[in-house]
């Protein structure tokens, strides 16, 4: 056997150390009763613009063994969320709320996740315009605003509000308006260079769908194929969710 042929590939040059990019994680909390294309499009479009390394879906707490008539068991909501997101490479479903001993406030959940991901990770809590409108009523919402970035997505039938009012409410430097074609990866990155947490306003898509409409459609025997992924639709039918008020 002869000597190994000389490599034609040039030897790797030592690279200058690059500034390590801080990890970006998008958080989407929701009842997900059931998860639908509104949630999925929201998460996907924000993941593309904000360049998330991970997308964490966080089904909210509900007592696992009671209240079936109010909110579907956390087990069913967790299962549907997993089925809906399994094909998305960066998506994970968190059990942080559903296994909490009692209903946590969002500020507590984000504090828990902050401990898990560390101070160097950019955490972005995503929400629709309806949730954002009620934010000032959330327990310790100032703590929440100081512990992660917020991304607000428009939602049909709900107002996000004008920039001047929001800047007055949340601080002029904090609110970044990416609506009206201003959303780009560059715009996001340039704002992340500064210190502090921001509130990003976005209008990347508009999908007029809610979980309430879907539960109603199932109870009336109408198709929900337009609103949820096929596996979620199948799960709802196989487990008899929303059809007669009984969720085994």
The residues that touch ligand ATP, with contacts defined as CB under 6 A, are 30-33, 38-39, 42, 127-128, 130-131, 153, 155, 207, 209-212
Q: Which residues pair with 149 in a beta bridge?
A: 124
- CB-CB contact of 224 with 214 (8 Å): yes
Cα separation, 143 vs 42, whole angstroms: 24
Closer Cβ to ligand ATP, 9 or 160, answer by number: 160
Shortest distance, position 184 Cβ to ligand ATP, whole Å: 20
- CB-CB contact of 215 with 240 (8 Å): no
Cα separation, 114 vs 23, whole angstroms: 12
Shortest distance, position 237 Cβ to ligand ATP, whole Å: 19
Cβ-closest residue to ligand ATP?
A: 128
Shortest distance, position 124 Cβ to ligand ATP, whole Å: 13
Closer Cβ to ligand ATP, 15 or 133, answer by number: 133
Closer Cβ to ligand ATP, 130 or 159, answer by number: 130
Q: Where are the beta strands (DSSP E) in 138-178?
A: 149-153, 175-177
Closer Cβ to ligand ATP, 19 or 202, answer by number: 202
Q: Which tokens in the block code for residue 29?
A: 């909390």
Q: Which residues pair with 201 in a beta bridge?
A: 152, 177
Shortest distance, position 207 Cβ to ligand ATP, whole Å: 5
């Amino acid at each position: 056997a002869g000597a190994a042929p000389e490599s034609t590939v040039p030897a790797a040059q030592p690279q200058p150390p690059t500034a390590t990019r801080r990890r970006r994680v998008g958080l989407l909390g929701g009842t997900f009763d059931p998860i639908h294309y509104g949630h999925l499009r929201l998460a996907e479009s924000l993941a593309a613009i904000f360049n998330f390394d991970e997308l964490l879906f966080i089904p909210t707490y509900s007592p696992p063994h009671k209240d079936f008539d109010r909110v579907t068991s956390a087990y069913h909501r967790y299962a549907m969320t997993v089925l809906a997101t399994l094909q998305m490479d960066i998506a994970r479903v968190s059990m942080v709320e559903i296994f909490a001993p009692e209903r946590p406030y969002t500020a507590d959940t984000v504090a828990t996740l902050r401990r898990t991901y560390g101070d160097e990770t950019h955490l972005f809590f995503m929400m629709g315009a309806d949730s954002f409108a009620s934010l000032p009523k959330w327990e310790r919402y100032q703590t929440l605003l100081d512990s992660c970035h917020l991304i607000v997505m428009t939602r049909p039938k709900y107002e996000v509000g004008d920039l001047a009012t929001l800047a007055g409410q949340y601080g002029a430097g904090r609110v970044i308006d990416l609506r009206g074609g201003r959303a780009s990866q560059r715009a996001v990155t340039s704002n992340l260079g500064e210190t502090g947490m921001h509130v990003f306003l976005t209008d990347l898509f508009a999908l007029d769908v809610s979980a309430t409409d879907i539960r109603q459609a199932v109870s009336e025997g109408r198709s929900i194929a337009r609103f949820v992924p096929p596996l979620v639709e199948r799960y709802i039918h196989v487990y008899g969710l929303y059809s007669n008020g009984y969720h085994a």
